[in-house]
Amino acid sequence: MRGYGYPQGEKPDEEEEKRLRESILRVYLTPTARQRLTNVSLVKPEIAKSIENLIISLVSSGRLNKKIDEEELKNILLKMQQSRKREFRFRRI
């Protein structure tokens, strides 16, 4: 059935990547932190994805050796929110 569905080899790679991401997050996030991240992903999926990427990056670079609890995840969310804030000033000429 060539020509139908996904290109050869594409879907299994995406599924494997998703499983790997979930397993890393399961190891390095407490259950309450994982639940909070899931809630964030329902409202702001792009922010949740960037937090996931940050955690995976920290794990792969060896800078994260303990579980992130809900309070630490809240701090990460606050820092991301503050870094995304932009200040606009209007000057009248």
Q: What is the mean pLDDT of the chain?
A: 87
**Total number of domains in the chain:** 1
25 closest CA partner among 42, 1, 48: 48
Q: What is the pLDDT of residues 48-58, one digit of tens each?
A: 999 999 999 99
- Residue-level pLDDT at 92: 81
- Residue-level pLDDT at 77: 93
- Residue-level pLDDT at 1: 46
Q: What is the DSSP letter of 66?
A: S
* Domain-located, residue 48: yes
One-letter amino acid at 73 equals L
The span from the CA of 37 to the CA of 50, in Å, is 11
Q: Which domain holds residue 39?
A: 13-81
* Domain-located, residue 65: yes
Q: What is the mean pLDDT of residues 16-36?
A: 95
Alpha helices in 2-61 (DSSP H): 10-28, 31-43, 45-60
User: For the domain that residue 74 is a member of, what is the CATH number?
Assistant: 1.10.8.140
